[in-house]
Amino acid sequence: MPNSPHTYKDLAPPRRLLLGPGPSMVHPRVLRTMSTPLVGHLDPEFLAIMDEIQELLRWIFQTDNALTIAVSGTGSAAMETAIVNLIEPGDRVVVGINGVFGTRIAQMVTRSGGTVVGIEVAWGQPIPLNQIAHILQTAGPIKAVALVHAETSTGVWQSLEHLGPLCHDHGALLIVDAVTSLGGVPVQVDAWHIDACYSATQKCLSCPPGLAPLTFSQRAQDVLRNRKTPCQSWYLDCTLVADYWTEGKRTYHHTAPISMSYALREALRLIHEEGLEARFARHQRNSQALLAGLEALGFALVPPAKQSLPTLTCVSLPEWLDDKTARSTLLHDFSIEVGGGLGPLAGKVWRIGLMGESSTFESVMTLLAALEQICSHVAPSHSLGQSITAALKEYSAFAHP
């Protein structure tokens, strides 16, 4: 017989300021909502909540798509849902590969039996639209083009506005990863003619991880209905899942995460109360101030300035700053989390997220003040206050810091 387990204490995680690539801070209203009593996943009260979630998701995606749902899983589950439902064996897919998540899309296409037509550029650079156009015009039948709108591993903000019509002119779908952009920068599914767009709850929506918003255009839904082979995933098969989300059908598929659905509804309600334009302006304002402060300390922006995300700032480190030591000091001495680099950028960059509830004046000032103290110990020539001054100067350009 195994030994009896010893006594386990109550959970008491430290209070962190979450300024990494996710999760972001969560509003107290969302946390309180998660303690709301459970009902069944087919209870009429819960079905009404699902209807409201769909309404709010259509609003934030800026779409009228009927098939707009929250996948039970994280952002990678929504990515896989989009790929396994739309891509069949033999399909050729143009994939922009400029970071971790473009690479992940390519891997999912391959596992679905598709052929990747990759456009690979250096990490930190956007995918050139003229290269996509050239492939569509010269490479024969292409089933879809898949791009990451906000590449979390590099902070690149990919332009999409004119791509949808180009894809459709060549019979291709447009699949977009908006995991780190939805709710922080404009995502206009209908206006940009996007066919499949997905995100995650723990980034700019400021909800705990566990659900993943997803929307399919009518063109994409037609592809679902006309597949030659069954979707390789039963759990993520949208022809099955959609019936659970469709009013008048509500066919049982799996037990929905009730408490997470409560949380998503409340997080979306907070965004609705703030308004999208005000929210986008807040993210832009705080990002500009943060970057000004970081540059004053010797950090340098990795992506081109015009393609840098306001939701996630990726900067290279000054030569005198050690990645692991400084991030450990931030975490253990100041209780601030920032993200390190991935892949070829490991040890060379920081990824600082100002997403949703994390994107505040207080967050920017708190991080810069902590970095001032760290820099004063490792860079003797550092002048205290210079990053704070630079950020405040940037804020002064706005009416309400």
pLDDT above 90 coverage of the chain, percent: 91
pLDDT tens, position by position, 320-357:
899 999 999 999 999 999 999 999 999 999 999 999 99
pLDDT tens, position by position, 234-264:
999 999 999 999 888 899 999 999 999 999 9
* Angle between helix 386-395 and helix 361-378 axes, rounded to 10 deg: 160
Q: Is the pLDDT of residue 144 over 60?
A: yes
Please compute the mean of the pLDDT values over residues 116-122 and round it to a whole number: 97
Q: Is the pLDDT of residue 399 over 70?
A: no
Nearest to 223 by CA among 173, 262, 175, 176: 173
**φ, ψ of residue 263 in degrees (nearest 5):** -65, -45
* Angle between helix 276-296 and helix 258-274 axes, rounded to 10 deg: 90
pLDDT tens, position by position, 366-391:
999 999 999 888 776 667 789 999 99
End-to-end CA distance of the chain: 62
For all residues of the chain together, what is the average pLDDT? 95
Per the CB < 8 A criterion, the answer to whether 214 and 74 are in contact is no
pLDDT at 170: 97
- For the whole model, what pTM was predicted? 0.96
CA distance 33 to 260: 9
pLDDT-based confidence at 401, cuts 50/70/90? very low
Residue with tokens 């070829």: 344
List the domains of the chain with CATH numbers. 28-272 (3.40.640.10), 276-395 (3.90.1150.10)
